[in-house]
Amino acid sequence: MEFSLLIRRLNYLRLIQKDLLFKNMKQTLSVIFFGTPKLAVPFLDRLNQEDSISIKAVISQPDKPVGRKHIQIPSPIKQYAQNNNLPLLQPKTLKSKNIFEEIKSIEAQMFIVVAYGNLLPKNILNLPHFGVVNVHPSLLPRHRGPSPIPFAIRLGDKQSGLSIMLLDEGMDTGPLLALKTIPISERETTTSFTEKIISLGPEFLLQTIKNYQDGLIKPIPQDNSKATQTYLLSRQDGRINWSLAAQDIDRQIRAMNPWPSSWTIWQKKGQPIRLKILEVKITSFASTKPAGSVFVKDDHLYVHTSDKALEILTLQIEGKSCISSSQFIHGYGSYLDFFE
């Protein structure tokens, strides 16, 4: 009788052990992380610290030459992976058969993409059991594409946020898993809003992944009728059109901070010089002269627009350090006339 009871207890303990082992296997999620810039590092770091997630590989863009000497600089994600002994791949393309087979052999349950820099081909999208989860810094379907934060600020949006979605073959067109609204402050820049994304995003991604894995949330198709599209900014997008309203120029300057920055052409002794306008303030002065006309009042620098004058607070002559408008006036006041 006692022997039979002992056997039953041992069997019961084995069942408990099997159940715990099954739960542990279920909770541990194997992941391949795709990312490249500094923005992606806090997301990878948070996932790497989580016991329930196993980073099987990190995939980043190849090193790119920087500067006049074309020095090969590793991406921030590559540096993080190497510093934390994570397996790293840097394929020139994801379309080759060899890289497909290598990714397939890892047998990860989920791929996670944060600012990788390229679209994933269909055969790779179809590999993981839980699909490919992407982090996009806007409230989709608004501001699809590569420049959602600058566009939100440039267009005067009062809020933007984070979208966690499943990737399909389109550009940010896949079904949504979760949205997080983040207010855009009155003096928001792309730099400051990116810091909000870095602060709030990693934990939001982690919780969304867990809920999705546990079946607590279901993908919801986007409303394509509400979609707007952004494009990759170029240096030319930063050029200021002084014929616009002061508010529009102010938004542009904040949206283009840090890239591509906002700039104008200043004629110094007949020589055109690129001048970066870093910070401005809208004044109550009505513009009474042609747009782009410059004037100085009480050691302050102003530029006429289509409606109100803008006060220039900080600026930078190309190739030199950032200076205040007062420093600029004292150094170059006799050459001020017009910004193009």
Q: Model confidence over 35-53: pLDDT tens digits? A: 999 999 999 999 999 999 9
Ramachandran region, residue 62 (left: φ > 0; alpha: ψ -120 to 50; beta: rest): beta
CATH domain 24-226 topology: Rossmann fold (3.40.50)
Band the pLDDT of 24: cuts 50, 70, 90. Answer: very low
Statement: residue 29 has pLDDT above 70:
yes
The number of CA neighbours under 13 Å toward the Cβ of 215 is 1
| 145-257-156-163 Cα dihedral, nearest 10 degrees | 40
Contact 153, 230 (CB under 8 A): no
Statement: residue 149 has pLDDT above 90:
yes
Place of tokens 């394509």: 224
Q: Average the pLDDT over 306-318 and give the result.
A: 95
Ramachandran region, residue 67 (left: φ > 0; alpha: ψ -120 to 50; beta: rest): left
Contact 55, 31 (CB under 8 A): yes
Band the pLDDT of 267: cuts 50, 70, 90. Answer: confident
Q: Please give the structure tokens belonging to residue 312.
A: 């220039």
> 333 to each of 60, 289, 295, 299, 329, how far by Cα in Å?
48, 19, 10, 10, 4
pLDDT of residue 334: 67
User: Going by DSSP bridges, is the β-strand pair 132-136/159-166 parallel, antiparallel, or unpaired?
Assistant: antiparallel
Q: Which of 15-19, 31-35, 69-73, 308-312 has the lowest mean pLDDT?
A: 15-19
Place of tokens 């296997």: 25
Residue ranges matching CATH 3.40.50.170 in the chain: 24-226
- For the domain spanning 235-335, the CATH number is 3.10.25.10
Residue ranges matching CATH 3.10.25.10 in the chain: 235-335
38 closest CA partner among 209, 233, 195, 184 = 195
10 Å Cβ neighbour count for 119?
Answer: 15
Q: Which of 46-50, 315-319, 333-337 has the lowest mean pLDDT?
A: 333-337
pTM given for the model:
0.89
Statement: residue 233 has pLDDT above 50:
yes
Binding-site residues, please? 138-141
Binding-site residues for (6S)-5,6,7,8-tetrahydrofolate, please? 138-141
Q: Average the pLDDT over 110-137 and give the result.
A: 97
Q: Please give the structure tokens belonging to residue 228.
A: 């707007």
